[in-house]
Amino acid sequence: MILHMFKEIISYRQMLISIVRRDLRSRYKGSFLGFLWTFINPLLQLIVYSIVFPYLLRMNQENYPMFLFVALLPWIFFVTSVQSATTSIVGGANLVKKIYFPRVILPLSVVCTNLMNYIYGLVIVFSALLLTGVHLTLNVLWLPVVLLTLFLFALGLALNLSALYVRFRDLEHIVGVVTFVWFYVTPIVFPITIFPQKMADIIGYNPMVPIINSFRNILLYGKQPEWGALMYSLVVGIILLTIGTWVFRKSEKTFAEDL
Protein backbone atom coordinates (compact mmCIF):
# COMPACT_ATOMS: atom_id res chain seq x y z
CA MET A 1 0.00 0.00 0.00
CA ILE A 2 2.72 2.42 1.04
CA LEU A 3 4.88 1.20 -1.80
CA HIS A 4 2.11 1.91 -4.28
CA MET A 5 1.63 5.40 -2.85
CA PHE A 6 5.34 5.98 -3.08
CA LYS A 7 5.45 4.87 -6.72
CA GLU A 8 2.65 7.21 -7.61
CA ILE A 9 4.33 10.13 -5.95
CA ILE A 10 7.49 9.35 -7.90
CA SER A 11 5.61 9.36 -11.20
CA TYR A 12 3.92 12.63 -10.28
CA ARG A 13 7.10 14.20 -8.88
CA GLN A 14 6.98 16.95 -11.49
CA MET A 15 3.60 18.00 -10.15
CA LEU A 16 5.03 18.16 -6.65
CA ILE A 17 7.96 20.23 -7.86
CA SER A 18 5.73 22.55 -9.88
CA ILE A 19 3.34 23.16 -7.02
CA VAL A 20 6.07 23.77 -4.47
CA ARG A 21 7.78 26.16 -6.85
CA ARG A 22 4.50 27.89 -7.63
CA ASP A 23 3.65 28.30 -3.95
CA LEU A 24 7.11 29.55 -3.04
CA ARG A 25 7.12 32.08 -5.83
CA SER A 26 3.51 33.15 -5.63
CA ARG A 27 3.85 33.99 -1.96
CA TYR A 28 5.75 37.14 -2.73
CA LYS A 29 4.76 37.63 -6.33
CA GLY A 30 3.88 41.20 -7.11
CA SER A 31 5.45 42.54 -3.91
CA PHE A 32 8.21 45.06 -4.31
CA LEU A 33 10.88 43.17 -2.44
CA GLY A 34 9.71 39.85 -3.83
CA PHE A 35 11.73 36.87 -2.78
CA LEU A 36 13.74 38.94 -0.30
CA TRP A 37 10.77 38.68 2.06
CA THR A 38 11.74 35.06 2.63
CA PHE A 39 14.78 36.46 4.44
CA ILE A 40 13.34 39.66 5.84
CA ASN A 41 10.50 37.94 7.68
CA PRO A 42 12.63 35.73 9.93
CA LEU A 43 15.09 38.56 10.36
CA LEU A 44 12.39 40.88 11.68
CA GLN A 45 11.05 38.14 13.94
CA LEU A 46 14.53 37.56 15.25
CA ILE A 47 14.93 41.23 16.12
CA VAL A 48 11.54 41.59 17.79
CA TYR A 49 11.77 38.38 19.83
CA SER A 50 15.28 39.07 20.99
CA ILE A 51 14.26 42.50 22.24
CA VAL A 52 10.96 41.52 23.82
CA PHE A 53 11.48 38.13 25.41
CA PRO A 54 14.62 38.71 27.52
CA TYR A 55 12.95 41.82 28.84
CA LEU A 56 9.72 39.98 29.68
CA LEU A 57 11.21 36.77 30.99
CA ARG A 58 14.18 38.30 32.80
CA MET A 59 16.46 35.37 32.06
CA ASN A 60 20.16 35.51 31.64
CA GLN A 61 20.41 33.12 28.74
CA GLU A 62 23.68 33.52 26.96
CA ASN A 63 23.27 34.80 23.36
CA TYR A 64 19.50 34.74 23.76
CA PRO A 65 18.68 35.91 20.20
CA MET A 66 20.38 32.88 18.71
CA PHE A 67 19.08 30.59 21.44
CA LEU A 68 15.61 31.60 20.34
CA PHE A 69 16.19 31.84 16.63
CA VAL A 70 17.74 28.42 16.15
CA ALA A 71 14.63 26.88 17.71
CA LEU A 72 12.01 29.26 16.38
CA LEU A 73 12.59 28.64 12.67
CA PRO A 74 12.09 24.86 12.88
CA TRP A 75 8.99 25.51 14.97
CA ILE A 76 7.62 27.87 12.34
CA PHE A 77 8.34 25.26 9.70
CA PHE A 78 6.50 22.67 11.76
CA VAL A 79 3.50 24.75 12.71
CA THR A 80 2.80 26.36 9.33
CA SER A 81 3.20 22.96 7.68
CA VAL A 82 0.67 21.33 9.94
CA GLN A 83 -1.78 24.21 9.87
CA SER A 84 -1.84 24.79 6.16
CA ALA A 85 -1.63 21.10 5.32
CA THR A 86 -4.78 20.54 7.37
CA THR A 87 -6.82 22.63 4.96
CA SER A 88 -4.88 21.61 1.86
CA ILE A 89 -7.33 19.03 0.49
CA VAL A 90 -10.32 21.28 1.05
CA GLY A 91 -8.39 24.21 -0.40
CA GLY A 92 -7.59 22.15 -3.47
CA ALA A 93 -11.22 21.08 -3.90
CA ASN A 94 -11.22 22.43 -7.42
CA LEU A 95 -8.46 20.08 -8.44
CA VAL A 96 -9.65 17.13 -6.41
CA LYS A 97 -13.13 17.20 -7.86
CA LYS A 98 -12.09 17.60 -11.44
CA ILE A 99 -8.93 15.71 -12.10
CA TYR A 100 -7.07 12.64 -11.02
CA PHE A 101 -3.68 12.85 -9.33
CA PRO A 102 -2.30 11.28 -6.15
CA ARG A 103 -4.16 13.30 -3.53
CA VAL A 104 -1.26 13.00 -1.14
CA ILE A 105 0.59 15.51 -3.31
CA LEU A 106 -1.47 18.31 -1.74
CA PRO A 107 -0.43 17.96 1.93
CA LEU A 108 3.01 16.76 0.86
CA SER A 109 3.57 19.88 -1.22
CA VAL A 110 2.60 22.11 1.70
CA VAL A 111 5.16 20.46 3.98
CA CYS A 112 7.78 20.60 1.23
CA THR A 113 7.10 24.28 0.57
CA ASN A 114 7.61 25.08 4.22
CA LEU A 115 10.71 22.92 4.32
CA MET A 116 12.12 24.95 1.44
CA ASN A 117 11.27 28.13 3.29
CA TYR A 118 13.17 26.85 6.31
CA ILE A 119 16.15 25.96 4.18
CA TYR A 120 16.20 29.45 2.69
CA GLY A 121 15.98 30.81 6.23
CA LEU A 122 19.17 28.92 7.08
CA VAL A 123 21.07 31.59 5.16
CA ILE A 124 20.04 34.05 7.85
CA VAL A 125 20.64 31.52 10.62
CA PHE A 126 24.19 30.80 9.58
CA SER A 127 25.13 34.41 8.99
CA ALA A 128 23.64 35.38 12.35
CA LEU A 129 25.48 32.52 14.09
CA LEU A 130 28.77 33.65 12.59
CA LEU A 131 28.09 37.30 13.39
CA THR A 132 27.33 36.57 17.04
CA GLY A 133 30.52 34.58 17.35
CA VAL A 134 29.05 31.10 17.72
CA HIS A 135 31.63 28.42 17.12
CA LEU A 136 30.30 26.06 14.45
CA THR A 137 31.54 22.46 14.61
CA LEU A 138 31.33 19.50 12.28
CA ASN A 139 28.21 18.46 14.18
CA VAL A 140 26.35 20.92 11.96
CA LEU A 141 26.45 18.11 9.42
CA TRP A 142 23.81 16.28 11.46
CA LEU A 143 21.35 18.96 10.41
CA PRO A 144 19.83 16.90 7.56
CA VAL A 145 19.11 14.04 9.97
CA VAL A 146 17.39 16.30 12.49
CA LEU A 147 15.52 18.05 9.72
CA LEU A 148 14.36 14.74 8.27
CA THR A 149 13.01 13.70 11.66
CA LEU A 150 11.06 16.93 11.89
CA PHE A 151 9.88 16.56 8.29
CA LEU A 152 8.55 13.04 8.85
CA PHE A 153 6.83 14.07 12.06
CA ALA A 154 5.18 17.06 10.40
CA LEU A 155 4.19 15.00 7.36
CA GLY A 156 2.68 12.32 9.57
CA LEU A 157 0.46 14.87 11.26
CA ALA A 158 -0.28 16.57 7.95
CA LEU A 159 -1.58 13.37 6.35
CA ASN A 160 -3.86 12.56 9.27
CA LEU A 161 -5.22 16.06 9.66
CA SER A 162 -5.71 16.87 6.00
CA ALA A 163 -7.70 13.68 5.44
CA LEU A 164 -9.82 14.12 8.55
CA TYR A 165 -10.45 17.80 7.93
CA VAL A 166 -12.48 16.94 4.82
CA ARG A 167 -15.16 15.51 7.10
CA PHE A 168 -14.58 17.40 10.32
CA ARG A 169 -14.17 21.08 9.77
CA ASP A 170 -13.64 21.71 13.47
CA LEU A 171 -10.12 20.43 13.09
CA GLU A 172 -8.84 23.72 11.76
CA HIS A 173 -9.68 25.47 15.03
CA ILE A 174 -8.62 22.55 17.16
CA VAL A 175 -5.25 22.51 15.42
CA GLY A 176 -4.96 26.24 16.03
CA VAL A 177 -5.55 25.88 19.77
CA VAL A 178 -3.38 22.79 20.15
CA THR A 179 -0.40 24.30 18.37
CA PHE A 180 -0.77 27.44 20.47
CA VAL A 181 -0.46 25.42 23.68
CA TRP A 182 2.18 23.19 22.12
CA PHE A 183 4.38 26.23 21.55
CA TYR A 184 4.60 26.80 25.30
CA VAL A 185 5.25 23.20 26.25
CA THR A 186 8.18 23.12 23.89
CA PRO A 187 11.34 24.90 25.02
CA ILE A 188 11.48 27.50 22.32
CA VAL A 189 11.40 30.90 23.97
CA PHE A 190 12.82 29.58 27.23
CA PRO A 191 15.02 26.65 28.31
CA ILE A 192 13.25 23.59 29.58
CA THR A 193 14.94 24.21 32.93
CA ILE A 194 12.40 26.84 33.87
CA PHE A 195 9.88 24.07 34.48
CA PRO A 196 9.98 22.13 37.74
CA GLN A 197 11.62 18.73 37.28
CA LYS A 198 8.38 16.78 37.47
CA MET A 199 6.76 18.83 34.79
CA ALA A 200 9.87 18.78 32.64
CA ASP A 201 9.75 14.98 32.71
CA ILE A 202 6.21 14.99 31.41
CA ILE A 203 7.01 17.61 28.81
CA GLY A 204 9.86 15.39 27.71
CA TYR A 205 7.30 13.08 26.08
CA ASN A 206 6.52 15.85 23.64
CA PRO A 207 8.28 14.66 20.49
CA MET A 208 9.10 18.23 19.56
CA VAL A 209 11.35 18.61 22.63
CA PRO A 210 14.16 16.33 21.42
CA ILE A 211 13.89 17.81 17.94
CA ILE A 212 14.20 21.40 19.12
CA ASN A 213 16.97 20.43 21.52
CA SER A 214 18.82 18.75 18.68
CA PHE A 215 18.64 21.90 16.58
CA ARG A 216 20.20 23.82 19.47
CA ASN A 217 22.80 21.17 20.09
CA ILE A 218 24.14 21.00 16.60
CA LEU A 219 23.83 24.65 15.62
CA LEU A 220 24.40 26.52 18.84
CA TYR A 221 26.35 24.27 21.21
CA GLY A 222 28.37 22.39 18.62
CA LYS A 223 27.33 19.08 20.17
CA GLN A 224 25.82 15.93 18.73
CA PRO A 225 22.07 15.47 19.11
CA GLU A 226 20.97 13.34 22.05
CA TRP A 227 20.44 10.30 19.92
CA GLY A 228 18.23 8.35 22.25
CA ALA A 229 15.75 11.17 22.60
CA LEU A 230 15.83 12.03 18.92
CA MET A 231 15.24 8.39 18.06
CA TYR A 232 12.08 8.55 20.18
CA SER A 233 10.84 11.48 18.05
CA LEU A 234 11.72 9.65 14.87
CA VAL A 235 9.78 6.56 15.97
CA VAL A 236 6.75 8.67 16.91
CA GLY A 237 7.04 10.38 13.52
CA ILE A 238 7.16 7.10 11.63
CA ILE A 239 4.20 5.73 13.56
CA LEU A 240 2.21 8.87 12.79
CA LEU A 241 3.24 8.63 9.16
CA THR A 242 2.10 5.02 8.95
CA ILE A 243 -1.23 5.79 10.56
CA GLY A 244 -1.50 8.87 8.36
CA THR A 245 -0.90 6.90 5.20
CA TRP A 246 -3.53 4.41 6.23
CA VAL A 247 -6.08 7.08 7.17
CA PHE A 248 -5.35 8.97 3.99
CA ARG A 249 -5.65 5.94 1.73
CA LYS A 250 -8.87 5.02 3.40
CA SER A 251 -10.53 8.38 3.02
CA GLU A 252 -9.08 9.70 -0.23
CA LYS A 253 -11.49 7.69 -2.36
CA THR A 254 -14.39 9.74 -1.17
CA PHE A 255 -12.67 13.13 -1.17
CA ALA A 256 -14.36 14.16 -4.40
CA GLU A 257 -17.79 13.43 -2.95
CA ASP A 258 -17.23 14.82 0.52
CA LEU A 259 -15.96 18.18 -0.61
Partner 1 sequence: MSEQTVISIKNVSKAFKIYRDKPLTIKEKFLKLRSNEYSNFYALNDVSLDIKKGETVGLIGHNGCGKSTLLKLITKILYPDSGEIEVNGRISSLIELGAGFHPDFTGRENIYINASIFGLSRKEIDGKVDEIIRFSELGDFIENPVRTYSSGMYMRLAFSVAINVNPEILLIDEILSVGDANFQKKCYDKIEGFKNNGATIVIVAHDLGTLEKICDRVIWMNAGKIVEQGDADRVIDLYTQHMNKKFVEQTQKEYINGTMKQASGDENPQIAAPKQSELEFSEDIRWGSKEVEIIEARIINRNGESTNAISAGEPVTIEIDYKVNKPQKEYIFGVGFYTSERVLIYGNNTEIGKLKLRSIQPRGTVKFQIDECNLLSGHYKLNVAVVDGDHRALDFIKYYMDFSVVSNDKAVGVLSIKHHWEVD
Q: How far is the CB of 86 from partner 1 (least distance, A)?
A: 15
| Cα 71 from Cα 211, distance rounded (Å) | 9
Least spacing, CB of residue 253 vs partner 1, in Å: 4
3 binds partner 1 per the rule CB under 8 A: no
Residue (of 218, 255, 234, 208) closest to 82 by Cα position: 208
Nearer to partner 1, 96 or 240 (CB): 96
Q: Of these, 32, 55, 56, 170, which contacts partner 1 (CB under 8 A)?
A: 170
For residue 133, the one-letter residue type is G
Alpha-carbon distance values, 177 to 73, 169, 181, 216 (Å): 20, 14, 6, 26
Contact assessment for residue 109 and residue 19, using Cβ atoms and an 8 Å cutoff: yes
**Axis crossing angle, helix 143-165 with helix 171-184, rounded to the nearest 10:** 150
| Residue among 46 and 96 whose Cβ is closer to partner 1 | 96
Q: Does 32 bind partner 1 (CB under 8 A)?
A: no
Q: How far is the CB of 157 from partner 1 (least distance, A)?
A: 19
C-alpha distance from residue 63 to each of 126, 128, 131 (Å)? 14, 11, 11
Q: Mark the segment that binds partner 1 (CB under 8 A) among 23-31, 37-45, 48-56, 234-242.
A: 23-31
Q: Could you list the residues that contact partner 1 (CB under 8 A)?
A: 11-15, 17-19, 22, 25-26, 29-30, 94-101, 168-170, 253-254, 256-257
